[in-house]
A and B are shown apart, each in its own frame.
Chain A
């Protein structure tokens, strides 16, 4: 991402964001409400056009065509699932759209990783919020994307769900895939990330490799930063 910006009317949601996420990296982005985190995710998912600047995935400009969309997996605020269909049907549908060679096997494998295989044939509307979130995570990963975008992925997850998410991110990292996690849950995200950034008022005000960060002191530093207005 280079100088990425986005305006909604007169309001500037993103203001010159420049970040790079390499293969195998997991970037955690923190920031208060309205900082522009979800806008950034929606631009990278191809759902919003930037007002300025540019973003590339594996050299392909965003918002691109089917080739670039096929490289991205998205966990958004909403589950993007069909409540009337079962968890398995939802994932098979997505796998088919993404041209996965064996949609049923890939769907089953993704559901197993998040621990929902035993409820695979239950309609999504009958699953608890946490289980729906797990299915949404499996949905994002069913086609083994090169870039996984996760907007508040910990919402509703219990420790088992968090473990499933951690496993998926670790597997993506081993496969050379990158991920961007946008969240308020500092401790959970710090455990996963290779890099951390803070977005405030649409700008990146802090960016550093995770290895240079002391998790215990990072939360205090983050709160002070936000309280001081970035």
Chain B
């Protein structure tokens, strides 16, 4: 038997999580339906004469991501409790960090999938002239997703064994999401307004720094969340 490296094990776990989600479609369907409904509700509550779409759309977009992402994050470790599959992961000869990284990669794929549906929906609904800013928005979306996933995956692991995991996760994770949402919304506002990407450089650097710090910190912290 050969050993399994941390990244190889993480990829195996991520592939398994994606396969489970593809079979059940439970979280992805509810997250995308939620994202589309939320975009529509914001649209009908919006007074275009009071607030321009360029000012409103980035905020709407990131509120939608945050809450639809939480739906997926809730399921991340919750799915492991059925039949105590988590014990199977904990008894495997892999680094504990591989479990976290695998879950985080699967959650990232989940969030990017939601973004691929939600971003065009918001652009079309609010008639946002993205033009050449699309790639910039995609990069901001990816950076923000990494930050949300790093923090969200850790907190999902921490609350999964509690009685009110669905309620607790937003309560503990949302305060940590604030810097990500703030930076992502501000960068998106700058980009959709047609201003040069350099103007959003500070927010993008903040997102990058948050990703680096929290991805590393959460990976290191994860093994401590596992109760023996």
Q: A interface vs B, CB < 8 Å?
A: 45-49, 63, 66-67, 69-70, 72, 74, 76-85, 89, 93-94, 96-101, 123, 139, 143-144
By Cβ-Cβ distance, the 4 closest A-B pairs, closest first, are A70-B93, A80-B88, A66-B93, A78-B84
* Chain B CB within 10 A, most for which of A47, A67, A89: A47
Instruction: Flag if A94 contacts B20 (CB, 8 Å).
Output: no
Q: Which residues of B contact A72 (CB under 8 A)?
A: 91
Q: Which residue of chain A is the closest to B92 with respect to CB atoms?
A: A97
* Chain B CB within 10 A, most for which of A78, A79, A82: A82
Chain A's nearest CB lies how many Å from the CB of B95?
7
Number of interface residues of B (CB under 8 A): 27
Q: Which residues of B contact A99 (CB under 8 A)?
A: 1-4, 93
Q: Which residues of A contact B162 (CB under 8 A)?
A: none
B82-137 residues with Cβ-Cβ distance < 8 A to A are: 82-85, 87-95
The SS class assigned to the A binding surface is loop
Instruction: Flag if B1 contacts A66 (CB, 8 Å).
Output: no
Q: B interface vs A, CB < 8 Å?
A: 1-4, 9, 12-13, 16, 19-20, 23-24, 79, 82-85, 87-95, 228
Chain A's nearest CB lies how many Å from the CB of B158?
18
> In the complex the two chains form, what is the Cα distance from A49 to B87 in whole Å?
14
* 16 further contact pairs, Cβ within 8 A, besides A82-B16, A82-B82: A47-B87, A47-B91, A48-B228, A69-B93, A70-B93, A76-B84, A78-B83, A82-B83, A82-B85, A83-B83, A85-B16, A89-B16, A89-B19, A97-B93, A101-B1, A139-B88
> In the complex the two chains form, what is the Cα distance from A99 to B82 in whole Å?
24
Instruction: Flag if B85 contacts A98 (CB, 8 Å).
Output: no
Chain A's nearest CB lies how many Å from the CB of B227?
9
Instruction: Flag if B24 contacts A80 (CB, 8 Å).
Output: no
Q: Which residues of B contact A76 (CB under 8 A)?
A: 84, 87
